[in-house]
Copies of this chain bind each other. A is one copy, B any other.
């Protein structure tokens, strides 16, 4: 609980964040002097839609969903993992957060007050480039999500979701590809734009058929090729036998 421990944790966090990794040690400790850490439990809100963004924030531990919470259903826009800045758009434009952020796991956030962040931005042009890179990633992720949500059947969309997750956070084990992420069926539904029941139907069938296994805080994909078939053959119009 000593301030020293805290300071060391912050310094450690700053060192490991990709965005700051290339900086000189002096610059790093300067940033560490301005930043703080905040911890969240699973399910806890980092912020709500409409909140004013007081700080620039980076995920240093855990995972976060950015979610538009509707009265009857939610939409998950994007998932953020370790090392990624979250909510960058709102902070930069000083606009109310357009969506809420919720911790999917026990999560630690590196928090840099808005004012300090803008001073750093002025002094280090490469930070602007980091922001542009981050926004690029966002745009590409969203366009891919648009592709996925269109037309296709629910099964296809869920297959594509897990293939994407496999690429981003999958680890190969002897059972197959392991996804160390905790997602409820509701969250899977929100990610592909369907209802809980439909998500459940697909996932429980896949469990029986051995396509995708749900475990404690993880999923396992025995055969990615199998998933890829399901992802490809979705709503494709029964193309004539000769077409």
Contacts and interface: CB of A to CB of B under 8 A. Distances in A.
Interface residues of A, number: 35
Contacts of A136: 89, 92-93, 135
A93 B134 CA distance: 11
Interface string A181-196: 0000000000001000
B99 A143 contact: yes
A75 B150 contact: yes
Interface stretch (A13-21, A51-59, A100-108, A124-132): A124-132
Contact of A149 (B92, B146, B239, B243): B146
B89 A147 contact: no
A99 to B, nearest CB: 7
Nearest to A133: B93
B146 A146 contact: yes
